[in-house]
Chain A
């Protein structure tokens, strides 16, 4: 047994020896925690703060409209809705921590919205918006329907809140939805500002549950599923064979889908480059990390490949109609070519970037085979 004690000691000795190499301070060493700090302090928290102010405003506008359903108040409400929806595009990709617990994105932005369910909720009352089954009758798409889609023109729409037999219920439903958006947003923001930020930043290790891996997985998932597929691919019929114009985001607004897409694409680009929210400053992010790894490996310059592909997608989208539903019906090929440009970056992000960063997809035993 003594022999074993010696053996073990030797092992520990060798183990600790590995630190005594000629390491010293290493100028090349890259500070990954700086990325997390930049994301949290300059992108995520400011974006949620901005959204939270917008949802507050949205709820106030909805209450004002509900108390007095005039054309003017409707216009104000629509404005707030647009601002809030745009602000939401900046946080939609951050489905982690409290947002993941709450299934924030599912509650706020499942489209197409279920209009039958909305009408049923309104006429029957007694709905519980926390039920996952009601995800598709709330959030921005449901509001879109309530403020743009109830009738063919504004007079008709207003009548739902004034003369309709369920007018009172419509008013209540409207404010229930805006209140829920506001509450959920505050919950997520509060969690970030009261503890989760530090947890996020300090979880700077490597592994499927580390912040970097989780965030990158979420980011790519968002880009692929919600930006590429949700906003462009699905309406263009990429996954169904024929175009589905009713599946565009903000369908009832007739003309806001492109603005939302552009905002979301910009948010994705900013995140990749670490650009501060509503600022020009460029902090540490995936681009810098890729550059660092690249100088080590002498590989292709992934950062510029990815950024120029983002630019191509952005340019391609310029040609699209403000209302994607119209675009899909008039000339779907333009929609498809925007999709193709977005698709090219899926390969860059999901294959080349993930490999370079060595991100773990999931916590499962797996080696390189």
Chain B
């Protein structure tokens, strides 16, 4: 590609309907997610009841706000509705991004790749003119109303989806996944009660079929969705794959979000049809928006800034998943560079961590009852993830200092079992964890993993 073809690409335009449909779906699904989250009682259970929250490094200042936490969810839910109808869109999507990200940063116990996906997708959407068509904003403001948008605005969403799938596929290219069918071999037999599939899931060959087809699906689906001839077939695959994951795994709204998102790969004809139906149903005139205009950013610098930020965003997205290469040791064991990398469903890790508090002044020693400070869910997450263990040890240090031990030493006796292997000692039991500060440095205080997992 030479300079001029790049320029031609960036001046190219497309019908705005796909972007509008994407915005509407996104808003509605997010609203539904928030309602579901609240209806399950999770706001209180995850963000109000626990007395301690695990923070991301550098985001310790993001904490739940007690009863006010509900307000953040209300704001986030309202913002998603505003996004759906395209009312004060830019503000709505910025507020959605901030409130949703705040919620995710409050406690990393609940970290899920798809929550991270929602965060970065909503960040991307801040810079896209998703409100220029079939929205309240476009209804009210003629300057915004446009039937066409720059091609790159639609393509950036496709690119993000492509990265998510492709990187998830790359992450599956390891010996545990491909040659041991792990962790599927642990997870699938437990789904015995699913009608029709339950018995099949007991078969080892079935675990391998799931593993290999999952990897091939992730690696190929972005391309199959891009080419016109394979597109309908690819969409069927998307639906089957995600319905399957919905049935098999507790991953909430994610399958629906991915199925809906994949529609962006289709021609605008489909999206225009969807919007026509919607117009009939809502009794509004879709043709009101069909003005033939091309969306222009209000100021040239805004356009340039948006493109600059989006470029930087994608460069980061391409690099972040590979940051694990900077660390020695087995990624699954040390989890250095594990998160934010589309490593979805790759590990079954169970752990147990018992903390010993020593008062060096009188050599008194005792063990901590974790249930005194953590919920069951938090304890489970803490005991197999080193950054949690360290953060908790520091919390314990503060707690016992308040209890009158001047300089408590804290040691962890911990065991972790990874992907069906026998449990083995995890944290070096002779290291006083209070002496170790959280950082991005390599964790020398973990014991080595006594097996090898080959691959990416």
Listed in ascending order, the chain A residues whose CB lies under 8 Å from chain B are 1, 3, 7, 10-11, 14-16, 18-19, 21, 23, 26, 28-30, 32, 204-207, 210, 217, 225, 229, 233, 237-242, 293, 296-297, 299-300, 343, 346-348, 350-352, 354-369
B364 → chain A, closest Cβ, in Å? 4
B186 x A11 contact (CB < 8 A)? no
Q: Do residues B204 and A207 form an inter-chain contact, with CB atoms below 8 A?
A: no
Are A296 and B350 in touch, CB under 8 angstroms?
Answer: no
Of the candidates B236, B343, B423, the one having the most CB atoms from chain A within 10 angstroms of its own CB is B423
Closest 5 CB pairs of A and B: A205-B193, A358-B190, A365-B252, A355-B350, A241-B364
Interface stretch of the complex, out of B15-23, B135-143, B412-420: B412-420
**Contact, CB under 8 Å: B239 / A346:** no
Interface-facing stretch out of B119-127, B281-289, B369-377, B430-438? B369-377
B241 to chain A, nearest CB (A): 11
* B contact residues around A16 at 8 Å (CB): 196
Most buried by A among B113, B235, B236, B420: B420
Q: Which residues of A contact B380 (CB under 8 A)?
A: 361-362
A15 touches B240 (CB 8 A): yes
Q: Which of A28, A204, A225, A300 meets B371, CB within 8 Å?
A: A225
> In the complex, what residues of B have CB within 8 A of residue A26's CB?
199, 202-203
**Are B202 and A241 in contact, with the CB atoms below 8 A?**
no
Minimum CB–CB distance from B286 to chain A (whole Å) comes to: 16
> Are A11's CB and B243's CB within 8 A?
yes
A8 CB, nearest partner CB in chain B, Å: 8
Q: Other CB < 8 Å A-B pairs besides A241-B357, A241-B364, 10 of them?
A: A18-B196, A29-B199, A239-B369, A351-B415, A361-B377, A362-B377, A365-B251, A367-B249, A367-B250, A369-B112
Minimum Cβ distance to chain B for residue A105 (Å):
15
CA distance A233 to B368 in the complex (A): 11
Residue of B190, B197, B232, B243 most packed against chain A (CB within 10 A): B190
Q: In the complex, which of the residues A7, A28, A206, A300 contacts B190, with contact meaning CB atoms closer than 8 Å?
A: A206
Task: State the CA gap A356–B202 with chains docked (Å).
Answer: 14
Residues of B within 8 A of A207 (CB): 250
For residue B344, which residues in chain A have a CB less than 8 angstroms away from its CB? 367-369
Give the residues in chain B near A233, CB-CB below 8 Å. Answer: 367
Contacts of B192 in A (CB 8 A): 29-30, 32, 206
Contact status A29-B347, CB under 8 Å: no
Determine if B415 and A347 form an interchain contact, defined as CB atoms under 8 angstroms apart.
yes
Contact of A368 among B187, B368, B415 (CB under 8 A): B187
CA distance A238 to B368 in the complex (A): 8
Contact with A along B170-207 (1 / 0, CB 8 A): 00000000000001011101111110110110111010
Q: Which residues of A contact B416 (CB under 8 A)?
A: 351
Complex partner residue of B189 from A1, A15, A296, CB under 8 angstroms: A296
A351 and B352 form a contact (CB under 8 A) = yes
Chain B CB within 10 Å, residue with most, of A15, A240, A363, A369: A369
Given known A207-B250, A238-B366, A241-B365, contact A23–B200 (CB-CB < 8 A):
yes
Alpha-carbon gap, A315 to B189, bound state (A): 36
| Cross-chain pairs A/B with CB under 8 angstroms, 16 sampled | A15-B240, A16-B196, A18-B196, A19-B196, A21-B206, A23-B199, A26-B202, A229-B369, A299-B420, A354-B350, A355-B420, A356-B186, A357-B190, A358-B187, A358-B348, A369-B338
Contact indicator B359/A241 (Cβ below 8 Å): yes
Known: A14-B236, A18-B197, A361-B380. A369 touches B343 (CB 8 A): yes
The distance in angstroms between the C-alpha atoms of A11 and B371, with both chains bound, is 45
Contacting pair A369 B339 (CB below 8 A):
yes
B236 to chain A, nearest CB (A): 6
> Nearest B residue to A212 by beta-carbon distance?
B190
Q: Which of B45-77 contact A (CB under 8 A)?
A: 45-46
B236→A242 contact, CB < 8 A = no
Residue of B nearest to A348 (CB): B423
Q: In the bound complex, what is the Cα–Cα distance between A361 and B98 (angstroms)?
A: 30
Q: Which residues of B contact A368 (CB under 8 A)?
A: 183, 187, 344-349
Q: Which of B183, B189, B202, B365 has the most CB of A within 10 A?
A: B189
A296 and B205 CA atoms in complex are apart in Å by 11
Annotate B258-290 by CB proximity to A: 1 below 8 A, 0 otherwise: 000000000000000100010000000000000
Chain A residues near B365 (CB, 8 Å)? 241
| Contact in complex: B351, A351 (CB < 8 Å) | yes
Q: Mark B330-355, 1 if CB is under 8 A from A, else 0.
A: 00000000110001111111111010
Q: Closest approach, in angstroms, between the C-beta of B358 and any C-beta of chain A?
A: 9
**Which residue of B is nearest A368, CB measured?**
B345
Query: Counting CB contacts under 8 A, is B42 at the interface?
Result: yes
Closest to B385 in A: A369
- Chain A residues near B364 (CB-CB < 8 A): 241-242
CB contact list, B197-245 vs A, under 8 A: 197, 199-200, 202-204, 206, 232, 235-236, 239-240, 243
Asked if A11 and B368 make an inter-chain contact with CB atoms under 8 angstroms apart, the answer reads no
- Name the B residues within 8 Å of A366 (CB-CB): 110, 112, 250-251, 377
B251 touches which one: A29, A347, A357, A367 (CB < 8 A)? A367
Instruction: For A361, list chain B residues within 8 Å (CB).
Output: 376-377, 380
Using known A-B contacts A225-B371, A369-B338, determine if residue A364 contacts B236 with beta carbons closer than 8 Å. no
Asked whether B197 lies within 8 Å of A239 as measured between CB atoms, the reply is: no
**Contact status B366-A237, CB under 8 Å:** yes
What residues on B are CB-neighbors of A365 within 8 Å?
A: 110, 112, 250-252
* CA A242 to CA B365, docked complex, whole Å: 8
**In the complex the two chains form, is A300's CB within 8 Å of B422's CB?**
yes
Chain A residues lying within 8 Å of B366, measured Cβ to Cβ, are 237-241
Q: Which residues of chain B have C-beta atoms less than 8 A from A239's C-beta? A: 366-369
Q: Is B40 in the interface zone, CB < 8 Å from A?
A: yes
Nearest chain B residue, comparing its CB with the CB of A7? B236
How far is B185's CA from A100's CA once the two chains are assembled, in angstroms? Answer: 33
Cα separation A242 to B196 with both chains bound (whole Å): 57
Q: Which residue of B lies closest to A25 (CB)?
A: B199
Quote the shortest CB–CB distance from B40 to chain A (angstroms). 7
Decide: B352 and A347 in contact? CB cutoff 8 A: yes
Smallest CB separation, B418 vs chain A (Å): 9
With A18-B196, A360-B250, A367-B344 given, is the CB distance from A351 to B423 under 8 Å? Answer: yes
Q: With contacts A241-B366, A351-B352 known, is A206 near B191, CB below 8 A?
A: yes
Determine whether the beta carbon of A369 is less than 8 Å from that of B377. no
User: Hey, which chain B residues are within 8 Å of A348, CB to CB?
Assistant: 423
Whether B111 is near chain A, meaning CB under 8 Å from some CB there, is: yes
Q: Which residues of B contact A14 (CB under 8 A)?
A: 236, 240
Residues of B with C-beta under 8 A to A237: 366
How far apart sit A241 and B364, CA to CA, in the bound complex (Å)? 6
Which residue from chain A places its CB closest to the CB of B235 in the assembled complex? A7
A173 to B251 alpha-carbon distance, docked (Å): 52
- A352, B347: Cβ atoms under 8 Å? no
> In the complex the two chains form, what is the Cα distance from A351 to B186 in whole Å?
13
CB distance from B336 to the nearest CB of A (A): 14
Q: In the complex, how many angstroms separate the beta carbon of A291 from the nearest chain B beta carbon?
A: 13
Whether A1 lies near B200 (C-beta < 8 A) is no
Contacts of A354 in B (CB 8 A): 350
Chain A residues, Cβ within 8 Å of B202? 26, 28-30, 296
User: Closest CB-CB distance, B93 to chain A, in whole Å?
Assistant: 23
